[in-house]
């Protein structure tokens, strides 16, 4: 929780600008906008210093798909406490507060209030090799998504032969470039002893291949920054969320999805393989279905268990062992 001697700065990040709200220890709010550039970062720090009233300043912002990275890195390097929060958490905080306006200024104030009241964990940058791996893996996935969209155009009934050949060329180009990114990611892992050791542990899990392992290494924080397997599942948005009210409302338990969507997406197809060939997940899936759970809900629960197993092999530095993996709580 924030303290009386702490000022909080909420920052709504966009590609070009940073809309900021500073909440002083006495509850006053000040608004400011700076460009999303190194000069703007320096101006933000200077402005916060002038208006924090001598208090320490804590900074909070949403994860915006990369636009926040440079600012978070700058603030961390400057010795400031900065939190990068999942946007879904901010969204629901706004619902709880009855927010009606959706503007950059209002968003900055909501982020500041959330940071003050919830004190989300401090952010720290990943190691340089992990940041490079993350860039390669994300580019690979983006290219494959673009290739899939282009490939879908081939089903258009009015596509002319010339246009069809153009689409086929683009699909081939995108696929080739995606494969190059995967090869570069594999080479980076092989050249980095720590990453190579982690990959070798992950691929001992039936259902997890080198590509999935590279995504886990790129998107899941280092295990020394994640306190438990349950926290790893929460980070991926794979924690169950119950919907109950009073004595009569009993909604279906669903995954929270308030986490890293890239990691969650990367685990879906491997889980479908794992429920067929991984003895732990197959037994778990069959037990859930036999208990009457819908198959997709059972798959979601297995995705949660799979990321927890990934965390377990990395944390314990031991290859996958069905004997202990079956004991992981879900």
Encode pLDDT of 106-138 as tens digits: 889 999 999 999 988 898 888 999 999 999 999
Average pLDDT value for residue range 180-189: 98
User: Which domain range does residue 284 map to?
Assistant: 215-325
Q: Considering the domain boundaries, does residue 15 fall inside one?
A: yes
Tens of pLDDT, residues 239-258: 765 444 444 444 455 565 66
Average pLDDT value for residue range 101-110: 83
Average pLDDT value for residue range 195-222: 95
Q: Considering the domain boundaries, does residue 207 fall inside one?
A: no
pLDDT-derived band at 69, boundaries 50, 70, 90: confident
Q: Considering the domain boundaries, does residue 67 fall inside one?
A: yes
Same domain, 151 and 184: yes
CA pair distance 110, 106, nearest whole angstrom: 6
pLDDT at 274: 94
pLDDT at 248: 45
Q: Considering the domain boundaries, does residue 200 fall inside one?
A: no
* DSSP-derived secondary structure for 277-291: H-HHHHHHHHHHHHT
CA pair distance 80, 7, nearest whole angstrom: 12
pLDDT-derived band at 279, boundaries 50, 70, 90: very high
Number of structural domains in the chain: 3
The DSSP bridge partners found for residue 23 are 8, 29
User: Angle 209-214-219 (CA atoms, 0-180°, nearest 5)?
Assistant: 130
**Residue 44 phi, psi dihedral angles, 5° rounding:** -65, -45
Average pLDDT value for residue range 139-159: 94
* Among 92, 118, 144, residue at a domain's last position: 118
CA pair distance 44, 320, nearest whole angstrom: 47
> For the whole prediction, is pTM greater than 0.85?
no
Average pLDDT value for residue range 137-148: 96
Look at residue 6 and tell me whether its pLDDT is greater than 50: yes
Closest CA to 255 of 271, 277, 273: 271
Average pLDDT value for residue range 231-239: 84
Same domain, 25 and 86: yes
| Tokens representing residue 102 in the block | 């959706």
Helix pair 193-202, 295-316: axis angle to 10 deg: 140
Closest CA to 306 of 254, 252, 263: 263
- Cβ atoms of 222 and 203 closer than 8 Å: no
* Among 118, 151, 174, residue at a domain's last position: 118
* Among 118, 138, 166, residue at a domain's last position: 118
* DSSP-derived secondary structure for 190-251: HHSHHHHHHHHHHTTSTT--HHHHHHHHHHSPPGGG---HHHHHHHTT-SEEEEEETTTEEE
Same domain, 225 and 284: yes
Same domain, 11 and 114: yes
- 3-class secondary structure, 65: coil
pLDDT at 246: 46
Same domain, 20 and 53: yes
Count of other CB atoms within 10 angstroms of residue 36: 18
Same domain, 140 and 113: no
User: Angle 57-62-68 (CA atoms, 0-180°, nearest 5)?
Assistant: 85
pLDDT-derived band at 2, boundaries 50, 70, 90: very low
Give Cα 52 to chain centroid, integer Å: 31
Same domain, 33 and 77: yes
| CB environment 224-237: b (16+ within 10 A), e (fewer) | eebeebbebbbbbb
Q: Considering the domain boundaries, does residue 210 fall inside one?
A: no
Same domain, 113 and 142: no
Look at residue 104 and tell me whether its pLDDT is greater than 50: yes
Give kind and range of the element (H or E) at residue 274. Answer: helix 268-277
Look at residue 67 and tell me whether its pLDDT is greater than 70: yes
Q: Considering the domain boundaries, does residue 310 fall inside one?
A: yes
- Cβ atoms of 207 and 281 closer than 8 Å: yes
Average pLDDT value for residue range 197-221: 95
- Cβ atoms of 111 and 62 closer than 8 Å: yes
What is the CATH number for 17? 3.30.420.40
Average pLDDT value for residue range 82-110: 78
Q: Which residues contact 295 (CB under 8 A, 6 or more apart)?
A: 289
Same domain, 13 and 71: yes
Look at residue 178 and tell me whether its pLDDT is greater than 80: yes
pLDDT at 27: 79
- Strands in 29-35's sheet, in edge-to-edge order, are 29-35, 17-23, 6-13, 56-62, 81-85
pLDDT at 98: 64
Mean pLDDT computed over every residue of the chain: 88
pLDDT at 11: 95
**Residue 82 phi, psi dihedral angles, 5° rounding:** -135, 140
pLDDT-derived band at 326, boundaries 50, 70, 90: low
CA pair distance 262, 235, nearest whole angstrom: 11
> Between 85 and 313, where is the model more confident?
313
Same domain, 80 and 31: yes
Same domain, 42 and 84: yes
Residue 165 C-beta-side C-alpha neighbours within 13 Å: 2
Percent above pLDDT 70 for the chain: 88
| Tokens representing residue 225 in the block | 């920054």
């Amino acid at each position: 929780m924030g303290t009386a001697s702490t000022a909080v700065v909420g920052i709504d990040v966009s590609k070009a600008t940073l809309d900021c709200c500073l909440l002083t220890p006495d509850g006053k709010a000040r608004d400011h906008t700076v460009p999303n550039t190194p000069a703007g970062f320096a101006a933000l720090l200077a402005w916060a210093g002038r208006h924090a009233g001598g208090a320490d300043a804590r900074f909070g912002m949403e994860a915006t798909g990369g636009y926040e990275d440079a600012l978070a890195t700058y603030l961390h390097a400057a010795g400031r406490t900065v939190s990068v929060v999942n946007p879904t958490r901010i969204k629901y905080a706004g619902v709880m507060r009855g927010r009606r306006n959706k503007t950059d200024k209002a968003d900055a104030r909501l982020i500041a209030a959330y940071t003050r009241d919830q004190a989300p964990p401090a952010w720290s940058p990943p190691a340089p090799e992990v940041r490079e791996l993350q860039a390669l893996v994300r580019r690979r996935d983006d290219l494959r998504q673009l290739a899939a969209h282009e490939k879908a155009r081939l089903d258009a009934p009015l596509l002319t032969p010339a246009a069809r050949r153009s689409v086929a060329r683009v699909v081939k180009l995108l696929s080739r470039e995606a494969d190059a990114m995967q090869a570069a990611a594999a080479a980076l892992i092989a050249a980095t002893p720590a990453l190579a050791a982690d990959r070798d542990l992950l691929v001992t899990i039936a259902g997890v291949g080198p590509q999935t392992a590279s995504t886990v290494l790129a998107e899941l924080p280092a295990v020394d920054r994640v306190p438990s397997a349950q926290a790893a599942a929460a980070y991926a948005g794979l924690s169950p969320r119950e919907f109950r009210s009073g004595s009569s409302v009993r909604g279906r338990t669903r995954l929270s999805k308030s986490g890293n969507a890239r990691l969650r997406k990367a685990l879906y197809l491997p889980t479908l393989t794992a429920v067929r060939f991984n003895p732990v997940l197959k037994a778990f899936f069959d037990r859930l279905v036999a208990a009457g759970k819908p198959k997709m809900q059972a798959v979601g629960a297995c995705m949660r268990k799979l990321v927890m197993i990934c965390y377990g092999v990395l944390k314990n530095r031991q290859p996958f062992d069905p004997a202990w993996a079956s004991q992981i709580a879900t």
